[in-house]
Amino acid sequence: MKALLKIMAIAVAGAAVMACTQESQNKIGRSIQNWTGTDGVLEIYAGDKLVRRFINIDKLSTAYGTADKSSPRPYRFGYGYLDTNLNMAKDANERKVYFEFSDYSTNYVFFENPR
């Protein structure tokens, strides 16, 4: 009987998720990812040349106004390790830093670390 109740609960939860809109499913996925964390990499380019790399990023956040919390600001921010030698590894001399980058002037790529 308990096994049947567990199966029914899982089926109901699955049906509830499937009934959500795509945007709702994306929000649920991002919430889970924010809770579990990621191993993100942010690369910043000047033209076609890689100039900065941040590794071990949990997430990028969009800044919002202090007075108008519904209005997003045109920059992103986060915390990660500055990969000074661009070797995709956290070395002993590389520390976790706060960073910001603008939507207007920066060419960047954010991706999950493939290693």
Q: Do 12 and 28 fall within a single domain?
A: yes
The pLDDT > 90 percentage for the chain reads 32
Q: Do 55 and 102 fall within a single domain?
A: yes
Q: Do 46 and 21 fall within a single domain?
A: no
pTM above 0.85, yes or no: no
Q: Rounded CA gap, 108 and 53, in Å? A: 10
pLDDT computed for residue 20 by the predictor: 65
Structural domain boundaries enclosing 68:
38-115
pLDDT higher than 80, residue 102: yes
Per DSSP, the three-state class of 95 is: coil
Please give the tally of structural domains in the chain: 2
Least Cα distance to 44 among 94, 86, 74 occurs for 86
Computed from CA positions of residues 65, 69, 75, 79, in that sequence, does the dihedral angle turn out positive or negative?
A: positive
Q: Do 89 and 64 fall within a single domain?
A: yes
| Secondary structure string (H, E, C) spanning 19-83 | HCCHHHHHHHHHHHHHHHCCCEEEEEEECCEEEEEEEEECCCEEEECCCCCCCEEEEEEEEEEEC
pLDDT higher than 50, residue 93: yes
Q: Do 21 and 71 fall within a single domain?
A: no
Q: Do 31 and 54 fall within a single domain?
A: no
Q: Do 12 and 65 fall within a single domain?
A: no
**Are the C-beta atoms of residues 63 and 75 closer than 8 Å to each other?**
yes
Q: Do 81 and 42 fall within a single domain?
A: yes
